[in-house]
Amino acid sequence: MDKNTLIGMLLMGLVIFGFMWLQRPTEAEMAERQRQLDSIAAVQESQERRDIVAGNVDTLSSTEMKHLYSVFESMPADNAVINNEGVMLSLKDGNVTGTVTVGDTTLQWDEVTATTSTNPAAHNLAVQAVQKALDMYAKNGSFAASLTGTEQMVTLENDSLKVELSTKGGIIARATLKGYKTYNSPQLLLFDKGDNDYSFTLSNNTQRFETKNFYFEPKKLNDSTVLMNLQLEGGAQWGLKYTLVPGSYMVRMEMVQKHMSQIIPLNINLVDLDWHQKISRHEFGKQFEERNSGVYYKYAGKGGDVKYTSESSSEEKEIKEQLKWVSAKNQFFSSVLIADSVFSSAQIQSVVTNDTRDYEKYLKDATIHTMVPYSSDKEVPASFYFYLGPNRYYMLSSYDKYSPKEDLKLTHLIPLGWKFFRWINTGVIIPVFHWLGKFMSNYGLIILVLTILIKLILSPLTFKTYISQAKMRILAPDIAKINEQYPNQEDAIKKQQKTMELYRQAGANPMGGCLPMLLQMPILIAMFTFFPSCIELRGQSFLWANDLSAPDKILEWGGNIPILSSLLGNHLSLFCLLMTATNIVYTWITTKSQPSSSSMPGMKWMMYLMPLMFLFFFNNYAAGLSYYYFVFTLLTIAQTYFCRLFVTEDKVRATIAANAAKPKKKSKWMQRLEEAQRQQQQLQKQQAKRRR
């Protein structure tokens, strides 16, 4: 063996020895491992002793009893209590006392440790319950002392929001929004105790610690800040610090810790987060509110989009990209968890509530599993904001300041339609609506003024539509003569040329009446998405409507009436009826002013079906939306009669005559059209010769 080989082997040995030395378990890990081995041995010993003692009952082994006393020794002397799923034990003067409840049976500790029993089945279940509790304490190691405690509620509140924190799990258990109410309650609970829970799962190489199982020690640092703390072995601490931001719906949540590296290795860089919320019902119209609820989430980054689960059915999604925030949202209110950093990935589930016990109270079950970056040597390894409040546009927009590096896009919690329609709402409708709200407090009048302003802006288009329809009505006899002059199919091109020549001379456009109407459609569609999402209308009354954000029911019926209930539900809305009636009147006025067509005599009657369909479609929608369409159509009818008053047929005929007298220069488009028609005519002649 030469010198270089010897040196190489020595270096390899040093590397291996160094690696083994660095990877050696700490004293805490060795003690934890021994505790687990003792627990396993106790369970095995108990299994071996079963069916041996008299009365065929299970008993706790000596190892399990030693483990029980070691659990008590790890607890504070003044609070040595085990409380886990029916097991309620305490240590007093060195003796274990308490009860174990299984089903409807409660056994005293002396009965549980006895070797005989008059009720072997209950006795054995009680022993198993104690064994399960001991196993739970063994698995939670350094956190075991926090498995027992008494739940307390700590309150933080400002002028807008009241949150109640539970020491069990250290979570926000209840959130009350001030100044709002529901259809059946004078106060609005965004979620009640038991409806909202979340848990962080810390892990080392052998164990997983779920914070929902632990009782935290509350410490109120000031009027707006509470620390939920866990005091662990070896002076380690882990907790959640909550700060209610003054005058807002934001709650700051920080994960705080000390000396956690002795429990959680430094190679653990992620922490699991599980969040579950039953999305509560707040509005009178449950069906419509349900269609506007679900789980929303935003991808991380400046250009991150906002997506959501299905609003009409249950859905489960697995997201591998990073997220900035996740939300459990209903029609007008949301719970949003915003990460200061990111959520590394997520599994999201939204389930429609079908259980009859929960049907009237909840809309959906939202479940979110995700992970957040973590380091056990940082004092604040992760931090978040909880937004617990209304879906109010300008308020959500103002919260972008909490994320200076990227636009949070919280306003996308408000469904305002596709990108183009959303631009109309955010750039025009919402600013005007908000501006009008500074001068008027009655939202019925605000909608009226807004509708009038929209009609004034669109009036040039309405005027052009009327002029175009008048021209087409006057030209109808001439068009009929052309149709009679060229009745055969082979003369179709000539007939088309003559018709186009007539339109050109008269200055008429057959599409002139359609284009202005099409240009109005984006605004109508934008308003269709705006009103059902406008929280300002919530609870606002106008005339007979008690709530402009809900249907204005004038007639209700119970039970399920075949066909009628499937089309209208169980009520009839007055504004929807008025909207339908005005649409029928407007359809009658429009069809009367249009030239009649003998080729399609049933088309006019088909036009009346659309207003009737509106009745069935809008009956469950917000009264504010039906009221807007009703006023809009009413103003359109008034504009039509106004146009007729100032634009007579004589004036239109004079305009047509003046256009016909002017020299016409064919446009390039018309030249290309005539050239195409000429080529098509030649092709038809060639085909006719071949057939001969």
Q: Which two tokens stand for residue 133?
A: 């509790």
Residues 97 and 171 reside in one and the same domain = no
Question: Do both 179 and 251 map to the same domain?
Answer: yes
318: left (phi over 0), alpha (psi -120 to 50) or beta: beta
Query: Which domain-ending residue is among 107, 139, 171?
Result: 139
Per the domain annotation, does 551 fall within a domain? Answer: yes
Residues 253, 170 contacting (CB under 8 angstroms):
no
Residues 124 and 116 sit within 8 Å (Cβ to Cβ): no
Domain boundary among 110, 139, 168: 139
pLDDT of residue 274: 95
Residue 683 lies in a domain: no
Point out which residues pair with 277 in neighbouring strands: 196, 366
**Which pLDDT does position 52 carry in this prediction?**
38
pLDDT at 78 (0 to 100): 65
Per DSSP, what are the bridge partners of residue 272? 201, 371
CA-based end-to-end distance of the chain: 107
Give the span between the Cα atoms of 473 and 97, in whole angstroms: 98
- Both 135 and 172 in one domain: the answer is no
71, containing H or E segment = helix 62-73
The CATH number of the domain holding residue 239 is 2.70.98.90
Angle between helices 27-49 and 62-73 (to 10 degrees): 140
- The residue ranges of DSSP E strands in 87-145, in sequence order, are 87-92, 95-102, 105-108
Q: Is residue 422 part of a domain?
A: no
pTM: 0.75
Total domains in the fold of the chain: 3
pLDDT along the chain (692 residues), means of 10: 59 58 57 58 50 59 78 69 79 82 86 82 84 76 77 93 95 94 90 94 85 92 93 87 94 94 88 94 82 91 87 89 94 94 92 75 92 93 95 91 85 89 90 90 91 84 68 64 66 64 59 60 85 88 87 76 63 87 83 56 66 80 88 86 65 56 55 63 65 61
Both 380 and 442 in one domain: the answer is no
Q: Are residues 358 and 456 in the same domain?
A: no
- The CA distance from 686 to 88, in Å, is 102
Q: List the domain range (segments joined by +) for residue 616.
A: 437-661
Q: What is the pLDDT of residue 212?
A: 92
pLDDT for position 234: 75
Query: What would the two tokens of residue 605 be?
Result: 């009657």
Does the residue 177 lie in any domain? yes
Integer-rounded Cα Rg, in Å, for the chain is: 37
Does a structural domain hold residue 508? yes
Phi-psi region of 119 (alpha: psi -120 to 50; beta: other; left: phi over 0): beta
For residue 230, being part of any structural domain is answered with yes
Residues 264 and 361 in one domain: yes
- d(Cα 195, Cα 174) in Å, to the nearest integer? 8
Shared-domain flag, residues 505 and 646: yes
Same domain membership, residue 530 and residue 590:
yes
Looking at residue 133, its pLDDT comes to: 78
Q: Residue 679, SS3? A: helix
- Based on the domain organization, do 66 and 190 belong to the same domain? no
Q: How many angstroms separate the CA atoms of 581 and 572, rounded?
A: 14
Burial of 377 per CB tally in 10 Å (0-12, 13-18, 19+): exposed
Query: Six-digit token pair at 273?
Result: 């987060």
Judgement on whether residues 655 and 545 belong to the same structural domain of the protein: yes
Instruction: Determine the pLDDT at residue 104.
Output: 83
CA atoms within 13 A on the CB side of 549: 20
Q: How far apart are CA 448 and CA 454, in angstroms?
A: 10
Q: Does some domain include residue 18?
A: no
